[in-house]
Amino acid sequence: MSNIIALYGGSFDPLHYAHLEIIRILRENPLYEQIILMPNYRNPLKPPSFFTPLQRLQMCKILADEMNNAPKNQKIPYIAVSDYEVRENQPVFSVQSVAFIKEQMARQHSNAQLVFVLGEDSFRNLAQWKDVQRLCQMVEFVLVKRESSQKDSQELPHIVPYARIIEYLDMPPRVGHFSSSFVRSLFEKGHIEEALKLIPVCLHTFIKAHFRL
C-alpha cells in the first residue's frame, strides 16, 4: 500500500455501473491507499441535476458503505465520500475542492499524494478550468479512457503540458458506453426498471423511494 489518495469527482446523476467499474479498478490497484468520491453540487457547465445534490451525496454514501462492508481477502483501499461541494450549496471549482481535501489530508496524512480521476473527454477541456496551473501543482491525473483512437490518447499529454498523467484506466466494453445522461433519459421517459438495470443494486431501494414505487 502506498500513500496515494484518488479523488473521484462528478455529478453522479445518477451513479451507474461504469462509475462502479472505475471504483473497482482503482481498488484493485495497490497504488492507492484511499478513494474519495466527491459528488458536486452542480456542474456550472451543465443544467440542474436530475437528482438533488443531497440525493446524489446519499447515493455515493450507500455505494461506499456497500463496497467497504463487502467480504474481502486482502487489504484494499477504503472508500470515503466528501460532502464538501454539496455543503457549499453552490457550484464549486475543482481547484477549491482539491485544496480543501489537501488541507484535510495534511492533518491526517502529512505525506499523502493526491491524484485526480478524470475522463479523457473532460481532460481535453482542462486548459479552460479555473486556476488549472495551481490544480496541476496539487494533483496528478488518472485518466479514464473513452472510445477514442490510440492517436487521440497519445495527444492527451500535450493538451496541458504541466499536467502529469500517471495512469490510464481501460473501461470494459460492457460498461464503457454507459452514461448518466442515458440513464436519466430512461427515467424521464418513465422506463424505471430499464434504468435500474444500469445502476448498482444497492441503490435500487433508495431510487425507488425517490419515484415512490
| Neighbour count for residue 22 (Cβ, 10 Å) | 21
pLDDT of res. 149: 44
Q: Is the peptide bond before 14 cis (omega within 30 degrees of 0)?
A: yes
Q: Return the C-alpha torsion angle 122, 127, 132, 138, nearest 10.
A: 60
pLDDT of res. 85: 96
pLDDT tens per residue, range 22-49? 999 999 998 899 999 999 998 766 778 8
Instruction: Specify the number of domains making up the chain.
Output: 1
Q: Return the C-alpha torsion angle 68, 72, 77, 82, nearest 10.
A: -10
Residue 68: CATH number of its domain:
3.40.50.620
Q: List the one residue out of 197, 212, 167, 211 whose CA is nearest residue 16.
A: 197
- pTM given for the model: 0.91
pLDDT of res. 47: 75
Range of the domain at 130: 4-211
| Neighbour count for residue 137 (Cβ, 10 Å) | 12
Low-confidence ranges of the chain (pLDDT < 70): 1-2, 44-45, 73, 110, 146-155, 157-158, 213
* CA distance readout (Å), 59 to 128, 140, 160, 190, 205: 29, 27, 33, 20, 11
